[in-house]
Amino acid sequence: MSASANQRSRKALACTQRATAFQREFGKELRRRVVEDREPYAIVQADTPHELFHAMDIPIITNQWWSAYISAKQLSTRYFDAMVAKGYPANSCKYCSLGLACTLADEPETAPWGGLPKPTVMVARLTCDCIQQVFGQWSQALGSEFFPMEAPAWTDKDPQWFANSRSEWERVYQPDRIQHMVREMADLIALLENRTGRTFDEAKFHHLMEQINVQEGYIWEAAQAIGDARPCPVSIAEQMPNTMIPQWHRGSDWAVAHAKEFRDEVMGLIASGHGASSNEKLRLMWIGAGVWHDPGFYQALEETLGAVFVWSMYMPFAGPAYIRDLKDKPMEALASRIASMNETLHLPPWMNSWMVSEAQRCGIDAAVVLLPPDNRLSQSGTKATTASLRAAGVPVLMIDADMVDAKVWDHDRMVGMVDSFLREEGLA
Amino acid sequence: MIAIAGPNLPHQLLHAAGRHGGALPLTPDRDCPRAGQWLESKFQPWAPRVLEHWLDGDYDHFDAVMFSRADDSSQRLYYYLCEMQRAGQVGGPEPLVFDVAKIPRQSSLVHVAEKLRALADQLSVDESALEAAIRQGNAASDTSAPVGTGPTCLVTGSPMPDARLLEAVEQGGFVPVGQTLEQSWLATAPVEEGTGDPVAALARALHEQDSGPRSFAEPSGRLRRQIAESAARAVIVWHIEEDEVRTWQLPSLRAVLQQSGLPHLVLSRRDWLAGDGAAIEIAAFLEGVSA
Q: Do A376 and B72 touch (CB under 8 A)?
A: yes
Answer yes or no: is pLDDT of B54 > 60. yes
The per-residue pLDDT for B260 is 97
Contacts of A87 (CB under 8 A, 6+ apart): B250, B251, B254
pLDDT for the residue A114: 96
Closest residue on chain B to A344 (Cα): B79
- Residue A82 reports pLDDT greater than 70: yes
**Chain A residues 28-57 within an 8 A CB cutoff of chain B:** none
d(CA A375, nearest CA chain B) in Å: 7
Percent with pLDDT over 90 in chain B: 93
A-chain residue closest to B245, CA distance:
A130
- Give dist(CA A252, CA B61) in Å, integer: 57
- The reported pLDDT for the residue numbered A103 is 97
* Whole-complex ipTM: 0.94
CA distance B51 to A384: 14
Q: Which pLDDT tens digit goes with each residue over A163-188?
A: 999 999 999 999 999 999 999 999 99
Interface of B with A (CB under 8 A): 37-43, 69, 71-72, 75-76, 78-80, 82-83, 86, 97-99, 101, 103, 105, 107-108, 110-111, 114, 213-214, 216, 239, 241, 244-245, 247-251, 254, 268-269
Across B122-144, average pLDDT = 88
d(CA B22, CA B95): 15
Question: Long-range contacts of range B128-135, CB-CB < 8 Å, 24 or more positions apart?
Answer: B129/B16, B129/B17, B130/B12, B130/B13, B130/B16, B130/B198, B130/B199, B130/B202, B131/B193, B131/B194, B131/B198, B132/B16, B133/B12, B133/B13, B133/B15, B133/B16, B134/B12, B134/B191, B134/B193, B134/B198, B134/B201, B134/B202, B135/B193
| Record: contact B83-A133, CB cut-off 8 A | no
Tell me the C-alpha to C-alpha distance, in Å, between residue A122 and each of A62, A118, A136, A192, B165. 10, 10, 9, 11, 39
- Shortest distance between the Cα of B79 and any Cα of chain A, in A, equals 6
Model confidence over B194-239: pLDDT tens digits?
999 999 999 999 999 999 999 999 999 999 999 999 999 999 999 9
Question: Quick one: average pLDDT of B14-22?
Answer: 98
Which residues in chain B have their CB less than 8 angstroms from residue A88's CB? 247-248, 250-251
Chain A environment of B41 (Cβ under 8 Å): 373, 379
* Average pLDDT estimate for B240-258: 94
CB contact under 8 A, A376 and B214: no
User: Do A89 and B244 count as a contact with CB atoms less than 8 A apart?
Assistant: no
Between these two residues, A289 and B33, which has the higher pLDDT value?
A: B33
- Is any Cβ of chain B less than 8 angstroms from the Cβ of A191? no
Residues 6 or more apart whose Cβ sits within 8 Å of residue A303? A277, A278, A279
Q: Does the CB of A179 have a partner CB in chain B at under 8 Å?
A: no
A375 contacts chain B (CB < 8 A): yes
